[in-house]
Every structure is written in structure tokens, then in C-alpha cells.
Amino acid sequence: MPLTRIALRAGKPAEYRKALTDSIQRALVGTFNVPKDDVFMLLSEHEAGNLIYDRQYLNIERSDDFVAIQLTVSNTRTLEQKKALYQRIADELAQSPGLRREDVFISLVEVDKENWSFGNGIAQYAV
């Protein structure tokens, strides 16, 4: 059920982008119990002037490899699950594609379960 938006600097090869999505999906499956085939991800690549972020906010040194990840999820997870997700995403991305943890920015947007339609004009999770 997550909808994942990933913003990154333009010019990374297809293998890098695939490693990003695969790593994030593994983290979602492992910490949020998302089904393996529940994959809805949007990647947007930005030229340097269109990806704007503070390189030192909260004393975290960010580089040109900065990646912003926004996850829209149902509001059913605990604080512990959220912390585990953040850590797992950073760990997975550090392994492959080799992204520095300092360059991983994550934002969760939580919505009620009835705010999803996966197709056919039906609110599949509405009760």
C-alpha cells in the first residue's frame, strides 16, 4: 500500500535507480510487513538547480548524491516500526547502491486506510 516518491540528481544509471527501488522495497517488506508485490514507486530526476536542500542542516553533511524519499502509508504503524524503517532504508541503501547514510532523507505521510484506491474506482481498504 505504500506510494513511494524518490527524488534524486539526474544522471544516475538505470542500475543505480533499480538498486534504490529494490532496497527501499526490501526495507518496507522487512519492517512494515508490506507484501513483496505491493510496489508503487515514482522516481523523479532533477538537475542540480532543481534539487534544493541544505547541505548541513542538523549538522549532517550532505553531498550531491542526496536522495529524498517520501512514503505515503496507512497510519497503522508504531513509532518503533517507523524508526526501524528509517534505519533499514539507510542500511539497505548503504549496501546497494552504496549511498551514504547522510544523503538519505525520508519523510512519511500517513493517511487513513479509506484514502486508497488501487484501481477500478474502488476504495479497497474502506470498511
Q: Is residue 84 part of a domain?
A: yes
Number of domains observed in the structure of the chain: 1
Q: Is residue 43 part of a domain?
A: yes
Q: Is residue 125 part of a domain?
A: no
pTM of the model: 0.94
Active-site pick, 2, 13, 35, 97? 2
The question of whether 2 is a catalytic residue gets the answer yes
Q: Is residue 39 part of a domain?
A: yes
Question: Residue 52 sits in a domain of what CATH number?
Answer: 3.30.429.10
pLDDT digit string (tens) for 56-87?
A: 999 999 999 999 999 999 999 999 999 999 99
- Binning pLDDT at 50, 70 and 90, where does residue 5 land? very high
Q: Is the dihedral of CA 117, 123, 124, 127 positive or negative?
A: positive
Tell me whether residue 125 is exposed, middle or buried, using C-beta atoms within 10 angstroms of its C-beta: 0 to 12, 13 to 18, 19 or more. Answer: middle
Q: How far apart are CA 105 and CA 66, in angstroms?
A: 8
Note down the domain range covering 99.
3-115
